[in-house]
Amino acid sequence: MRKTFLPFSPPLIGEAEVREVVDTLHSDWITTGPKTRAFEKAFARYVDAPSALALNSCTAGLHTALLALGVGAGDEVVTTPMTFAASVNVIEHVGARPVLVDVEADTLNLDPDKVAAAVGPKTRAVVAVHYAGHPVELDAIRGLAEADGLALIEDAAHALPARYKGQCIGSGDNAASFSFYATKNMTTAEGGMLTGSPELLEQARVVALHGMSRNAWNRYDEKGSWYYEVMMPGFKYNMTDIQAAIGLHQLDRLEGFQRRRREVVAAYHEGFGDMEALELPVERREVESAWHLYVLRLRPGRLRIGRDAFVRELGERNIGASVHFIPIHLHPFYRDKYGYTPDDFPVAFSNYERMLSLPLNPRLSDEDVADVIEAVRDIVTHHAR
């Protein structure tokens, strides 16, 4: 057994990021400035996006997108219960009603057939979450949105750098929001990026900086103007140059990060492939998953312990693990407001009860990976029926 604790998902920050942050601190710009703009351009090139807007979180990107698209009171937005609360909270923030639909059993992504069945006269948008880094069935959901005149917003917090049928997530004209939180595939400590058409992001830029007129961010630059107009009651969602300084180098290292993630995934697949008690995560043939999470599911009836005990025993073996996610309809606010019961979304609920996430990050050494595999196999062996 390991002698030291293995964290679930620590960041990997190098000296280049440190030097860039120090350079920023010595410069005239520490808030939104030239490095933020450079990061936006570099990110747009990386995912082949029409345009990109750097923000202080993925949540800010989702909220800004809804507002820029005019979604508000009386509207409905279809989304998934298998996500972090931020994906749904933003729908509440704009005064709309989140309409949850169940997920597919293999990927745990939105089920397109259930999305189609949930669309009604008040539906304005679909928020499609790329769960664990595996893209949703974009063709089906995009086609449905276009047929019904709905906005498509992609929650791509897990999906950098995922691909669907060869195309990068974030390369479309529709809104896609990415996360650079500390546990993500690349980080700016806190931060996010919204991609989409230039027209959409021009409006989003106003929403995200107090509702001030376009280019108000550079009013203290030598070529800037002190004059601005407030076009709407906007928000304070801008990214700083300190964050962007980290992001510029994290983006350069992302391919290397992803190679290591895929090596870890391959080792896990090999290490657990013969264990009938475990259901391994999938990657459909038409996609390239970002492999943000490695989610194991315990097969019913194969073990004498449940998921919670399994996670505790991993902790006792110094392996950090987590659960992604507690479905939205189980949380008190949504449960009580909309009268949900656990079985309203049976696929999401039944999978939640048996899922756990293993460490998956580029800092893992071969020895770390071997320790995780050994711990999981030991628990399964000791508690097999």
Is the CB of residue 375 less than 8 Å from the CB of residue 317? yes
- Report how far residue 268's alpha carbon sits from residue 272's, in angstroms, rounded to the nearest whole number: 6
DSSP code string of 89-142: HHHHHTT-EEEE--B-TTT-SB-HHHHHHH--TTEEEEEEE-GGGPPP-HHHHH
- Report how far residue 21's alpha carbon sits from residue 183's, in angstroms, rounded to the nearest whole number: 19
Is 184 annotated in the active site?
Answer: yes
State phi, psi for 108 to the nearest 5 degrees: 65, 20
What is the token pair recorded at 168? Answer: 């990068």
What is the token pair recorded at 37? Answer: 């703009």
- The contacts of residue 277 (CB under 8 Å, 6+ apart) are 298, 299, 302, 303, 380, 384
Is the CB of residue 382 less than 8 Å from the CB of residue 279? no
Closest CA to 23 of 245, 174, 186, 184: 245
Bridge partners (DSSP) of residue 76 are 97, 123
Place of tokens 């710009």: 29
Catalytic residue among 3, 41, 165, 184: 184
- How are the residues of the chain apportioned to helix, strand and coil, as percentages rounded to the nearest 5? 40, 15, 45
- Report how far residue 324's alpha carbon sits from residue 265's, in angstroms, rounded to the nearest whole number: 17
Catalytic residue positions, numbered: 184
